[in-house]
Chain A
Amino acid sequence: MTHSPIERVAFATPPAIASRARGLSDRALAWIFVTPTIALLLAINIFPLVWTIRLSLTNYRANRANAELEWVGIRNYTRILTDGDIWLSMQATAHFLIWTIVLQVAIGFALAWLINRKFKGNDLWTTIIVLPMMLSPAVVGNFWTFLYQPQIGLFNYVVSFLTGIDPSSFSMIGDVSLAPWSIVIVDTWMWTPFVMLICLAGLRSIPDYIYEAAAIDRASPWRQFWTITVPMVLPFLMLAVLFRGIENFKMFDMVTLLTGGGPGSTTELTSINLKREAFEKWRTGYSSAYAIILFVTVFGLASIYVKALNKVKQR
């Protein structure tokens, strides 16, 4: 009796391992292996999220755990969305986010473009440039606090040297109009190398023959830049923007050490504001609602962005 190839494969395949051992089906065995992972994910991701949503509908305060819990419905949400101070903190976050991304992408790309050219000491310069991102944000925060000191800080002396302004006449972290820029400068100093490295990876992934073909077609360097370099590096740039955007949306440590959110509330980013509500004012229910709103915002924006990124990658 002859068998078709499919039948031969079927006969050669051993019976399901699980059914041989203790009469379990493969599906049941799979569940046994997967269940601990699912349980772990539920415990550390889903449960806290659900619990936070639950708390956001109460007046719970973590420092008074024994107090009677009162259900307040969506009161916390309406309070947050109608609170002018929170919108100001969103505004401060948007300012920080937009300017750091713009500057980091522009400078990072320019540095990557320069470093990508073959010249002596290329590796050394790359190492020097990436040093800031190796430092701890706490160290950077304290370090720049000293640099910004009007009386002894190097930053003010450099500005004074360049502009002739008295160094003790302005305070980067004490002045309302300068403080938002002071955190943008430090973040840009620290994280531009990260964007540069990603761009460098993008630039080095472009095969030389494309440029050679363009040169044969007499495309000018400017044309080559806009029609080859930029489109091919764009997905990398967008990835860098995504990483920096998410990181800076939750920026806390460096800004806390640098300005503490001040002067006033000028540099109080949403993460700092949320920490104050949750762990200084101890309004746990309120801050849970705040966290949920931020989560939905980041999740929504990131989803839209990732869709756009995929479209760019598919081009």
Chain B
Amino acid sequence: MKHAHLAAVAAISITAALSANSAQAEDLTLCWAAWDPANALVELSKDFEAQSGHKMSFEFVPWPNFADRMLNELNSGGQLCDLMIGDSQWIGGAAENGWYVKLNDFFDANGIKMDDFIDATVTGYAEWPKNTPNYWALPAFGDVVGWTYRKDWFERPEIQTAFKEKYGRDLAVPKTFAELKDIAEFFQKREIDGKTVYGASIYTERGSEGITMGAMDVLYSFGFKYENPDKPYDMEGYVNGPGAVAGLEYYKALYDCCVAPGTSNTYMSEGIDAFKSGQVALQMNFAFTWPGFETDMDVGRGKTGYFANPAGPDGEQFAQLGGQGISVVAASSKQDAALEYIKWFAQPDVQAKWWSMGGFSCLKAVTLAPDFPQSQPYAQTFLDSMAIVKDFWAEPSYATLLQDAQKRFHDYVVAGQGTSQEALDGLVADWTETFEDEGKL
């Protein structure tokens, strides 16, 4: 009897200790890029801290070094990050290398349904293999390449008249890439308010992913496809087909005619600077930049307009997907607390607040709400853009594939070496070699 009593006391003590442990407050570290949305997330996460008792720490790395730093961290099994908002292209490698925790069981147990999120973001940020119900992340920040324009310049009568005289149509948001180039050419080196302005700011950055994100944004709508839909990894005639060739030629023509001098290596931040400083009429950039323009002293207060990527010559219209999902790092020793954060983050009211703070929610309950298009001047453009997204390869070897594209595009578009056809033929050769090395061809 005495032994039985002791055993019962011991069992109760162990259970109490374990339950106390599971409810223990943790210090969670969330890793992401250093940009405006990350600052909004810090504010948003204060609610989580108050509710859960966990403390949130953040590790933010500037975009140009983000992939290098974080992929090293994941690959080395480091315990710096408990939660990772990793780029969409990482998902294949992260899944296959066991860097992220698979979330299917957790989603099922907590009633989190992927159908509740914008379809493209689920495919882009969460699934691997693509189009299969294997989830490694919760869509966290929807992003897409779109365009901003100087609405106040477009509305000036003298500029409207000059444009109509030259092109025989009204100066308005371009519906096609051909119209976009006309507008960019029209503004190139035009004097506005005593200052020389330029046509457009587009991505030309060589080092990380810039020019690829920019060129692909155009190429998709001109007919580029990554592979034969019926034969995976068969790229001949798709990556370097006539449409793709024309698309790359268009991108080079846009670069040659209509960018500001010295913008041969520009990406997101340079685009923001060019637009805010009143240097360009049009700007290609990811949607995350838009809230910043609305609050800017120079281009805010109704001076900026937004539009989705225009259509290509055959009416096809696509846009480059950006954005990220939030994942639990497999090497983390605080996975339970990290999952708690994801559960909290997935709630509709948290997502609504996320959107109101400048975070681009992927939850349909937020984005399909009747008042959503009126909630921000760029809200409708965000919806339109998210409906036409395509993403770069998310293969485990995406880094190699991306760097090959960076080289081929920059060599042709910026350095003017070779032809568009040669650049894309070279890209097919590069990608074929990589897939052969991977054993996929």
How many residues belonging to A are interface residues under a CB distance threshold of 8 Å? 32
Are A64 and B403 touching (Cβ within 8 A)?
no
Which of B256-282 touch A at CB < 8 Å? 260-265
Which of A99-158 touch B at CB < 8 Å? 148-151, 153
Give the chain A neighbours of B403 by CB distance below 8 A: 276, 280-281
In the complex, which residue of chain B has the Cβ closest to the Cβ of A256?
B207
Are A265 and B410 touching (Cβ within 8 A)?
yes
Give complex CA distance A283, B206 in Å.
Answer: 19
Given contacts A262-B206, A263-B414, contact A63 B93 (CB under 8 A): yes
Give the chain B neighbours of A63 by CB distance below 8 A: 71, 75, 93, 97, 399
Are A282 and B400 touching (Cβ within 8 A)?
yes
Are B410 and A264 touching (Cβ within 8 A)?
yes
Q: Which of A173, A276, A279, A283 contacts B264 (CB 8 A)?
A: A173
Are A262 and B399 touching (Cβ within 8 A)?
no
Give the chain A neighbours of B410 by CB distance below 8 A: 262-265
Instruction: Describe A's contact surface by its main secondary structure.
Output: loop
Instruction: Check: B416 CB closer than 8 A to any chain A CB.
Output: yes
Instruction: Check: B411 CB closer than 8 A to any chain A CB.
Output: yes
Interface residues on B, range: 20 to 34
Give the chain B neighbours of A151 by CB distance below 8 A: 260-262
Give the chain A neighbours of B205 by CB distance below 8 A: 260
Give the chain A neighbours of B412 by CB distance below 8 A: 264
Instruction: Check: B230 CB closer than 8 A to any chain A CB.
Output: no
Give B213 Cβ to nearest chain A Cβ, in Å: 15
Give the chain A neighbours of B96 by CB distance below 8 A: 64
Give B308 Cβ to nearest chain A Cβ, in Å: 29
Instruction: Check: B237 CB closer than 8 A to any chain A CB.
Output: no
Instruction: Check: B98 CB closer than 8 A to any chain A CB.
Output: yes
Instruction: Check: B15 CB closer than 8 A to any chain A CB.
Output: no
Give complex CA distance A287, B389 in Å.
Answer: 35
Q: Which of B68, B93, B414 contacts A64 (CB 8 A)?
A: B93
In the complex, which residue of chain A has the Cβ closest to the Cβ of B409?
A264
Give the chain B neighbours of A235 by CB distance below 8 A: none
Are B260 and A262 touching (Cβ within 8 A)?
no
Q: Which of B261, B414, B416 contacts A168 (CB 8 A)?
A: B261
Give B329 Cβ to nearest chain A Cβ, in Å: 15
0 or 1 for each of B184-223: is its CB under 8 Å from A? (1 = yes): 0000000000000000000001110000000000000000
Instruction: Check: A37 CB closer than 8 A to any chain B CB.
Output: no
0 or 1 for each of A265-293: is its CB under 8 Å from B? (1 = yes): 11000000000100111110000000000
Give B269 Cβ to nearest chain A Cβ, in Å: 14
Which of A57-115 touch B at CB < 8 Å? 59, 62-66, 85
Give complex CA distance A174, B407 in Å.
Answer: 15
Instruction: Check: B300 CB closer than 8 A to any chain A CB.
Output: no
Instruction: Check: A169 CB closer than 8 A to any chain B CB.
Output: yes
Instruction: Check: A228 CB closer than 8 A to any chain B CB.
Output: no
Give the chain B neighbours of A173 by CB distance below 8 A: 262, 264-265
Are A174 and B93 touching (Cβ within 8 A)?
no
Instruction: Check: B437 CB closer than 8 A to any chain A CB.
Output: yes
Give B306 Cβ to nearest chain A Cβ, in Å: 26
Give B212 Cβ to nearest chain A Cβ, in Å: 12
Give the chain B neighbours of A281 by CB distance below 8 A: 399-400, 403-404
Instruction: Check: B415 CB closer than 8 A to any chain A CB.
Output: yes
Are B417 and A280 touching (Cβ within 8 A)?
no
Give A175 Cβ to nearest chain B Cβ, in Å: 8
Give complex CA distance A260, B64 in Å.
Answer: 12
Give A70 Cβ to nearest chain B Cβ, in Å: 9
Are B437 and A59 touching (Cβ within 8 A)?
yes
Give complex CA distance A263, B263 in Å.
Answer: 10
Give A14 Cβ to nearest chain B Cβ, in Å: 55
In the complex, which residue of chain B has the Cβ closest to the Cβ of A281?
B400
Are A176 and B399 touching (Cβ within 8 A)?
no
Instruction: Check: B396 CB closer than 8 A to any chain A CB.
Output: yes
Give complex CA distance A176, B411 in Å.
Answer: 10
Give complex CA distance A262, B265 in Å.
Answer: 8
Give complex CA distance A266, B410 in Å.
Answer: 10
Give B311 Cβ to nearest chain A Cβ, in Å: 29
Which of B399-441 touch A at CB < 8 Å? 399-400, 403-404, 407, 410-412, 414-417, 437
Q: Which of A148, A149, A264 contacts B414 (CB 8 A)?
A: A264
Give complex CA distance A276, B399 in Å.
Answer: 10
Give B28 Cβ to nearest chain A Cβ, in Å: 25
Give the chain B neighbours of A193 by CB distance below 8 A: none
In the complex, which residue of chain B has the Cβ closest to the Cβ of A79?
B433
Give complex CA distance A64, B262 in Å.
Answer: 38
In the complex, which residue of chain B has the Cβ closest to the Cβ of A286?
B437
Give the chain B neighbours of A276 by CB distance below 8 A: 403
Give complex CA distance A148, B404 in Å.
Answer: 28
Are A149 and B262 touching (Cβ within 8 A)?
yes
Are A265 and B411 touching (Cβ within 8 A)?
yes
Give complex CA distance A66, B99 in Å.
Answer: 11
Apart from A64-B93, A176-B415, A280-B403, 12 more pairs, CB < 8 Å: A63-B93, A63-B399, A149-B262, A151-B261, A174-B264, A260-B206, A261-B206, A262-B414, A264-B411, A264-B416, A264-B417, A266-B415
Could you list 8 A-B pairs, sorted by A, with CB under 8 Å? A64-B96, A66-B97, A168-B261, A171-B262, A173-B262, A173-B264, A173-B265, A262-B264
Q: Which 5 A-B pairs have the closest CB atoms?
A: A264-B415, A174-B264, A264-B411, A150-B261, A150-B262
- Chain B residues within 8 Å of A, Cβ to Cβ: 68, 71, 75, 93, 96-98, 205-207, 260-265, 396, 399-400, 403-404, 407, 410-412, 414-417, 437
